[in-house]
Amino acid sequence: MLEELREANSYITSKIKETDSVILEMEKFAQEQNVPIVTKEVAEYLKFMVKMNKSKNILEIGTAIGYSGTIMAKAVEEYGGHLTTIEIDEERFNQAKENFAKAKVDNVTLILGDGLEEIKKLQGEFDFIFIDAAKGKYKEFFEDSYKLLSKDGIIFIDNIMFRGYLYKEYPKRFKTIVRKLNEFIDYLYENYPGFTLLPFGDGIGLLQGKK
């Protein structure tokens, strides 16, 4: 979480009263097992965006345990929306499969595999694309998935500012990731005039497709 916004984000999350038992169970599991999931305020914004967009066909790159996927699938099920989500880790894939079943969401297609390979196999268009996977591959994920973005569709990129390491001191082991993310943000600003960078959670990048 970006340090200077921690207090504001804590205030916001204190106002969010989650009642869904499966969501709460996943939050507890993620905290105890140190599994990265979207922060609560990002989850709320994600829910708002897919509902506002009336998304019918969502693509998620990076399922993890199914937390954000469950939130999106539940948000769009009332008007027939569908989620396709890709996870490379088999253990996480199985956990997500179990959590989707617990949440009783059946509008989900869960794919086990490398996003860089699986995206290329997908057919049709998506009106909402959520990217939250390996940070060093964000540009590749974006370029491949952007080809599948429908007219006026939205791409939502989470953790794009990577714990604030893009503008403050960072551990040497993250040098390559930080460089790649900085280059990716420059690339988006230079080539996609509608790109917007928002400093909450761990940083969100938003882009709307061509009108």
**130-141, pLDDT tens digit by residue?**
999 998 999 999
Is 4 labelled as part of a ligand binding site?
A: no
Is 38 labelled as part of a ligand binding site?
A: yes
List CB contacts of 203: < 8 A, sequence separation 6 or more: 2, 158, 159, 160, 161, 162, 164, 166, 197
Is 68 labelled as part of a ligand binding site?
A: yes
Is 158 labelled as part of a ligand binding site?
A: yes
For 18, the domain range is: 3-208
pLDDT digits (tens, 9 = 90+) for 48-104: 999 999 999 999 999 999 999 999 999 999 989 999 999 999 999 999 999 999 999
pTM for the whole structure: 0.92
**Alpha-carbon distance 93 to 155, whole Å?**
23
Is 76 labelled as part of a ligand binding site?
A: no
Is 55 labelled as part of a ligand binding site?
A: no
| In contact, 26 and 65? CB cutoff 8 Å | yes
- Total count of domains within the chain: 1
Q: Is the pLDDT of residue 45 over 60?
A: yes
CATH code of the domain in which 70 resides: 3.40.50.150
* H or E element, residue 165: none
| In contact, 77 and 54? CB cutoff 8 Å | no
Q: What is the pLDDT of residue 5?
A: 66
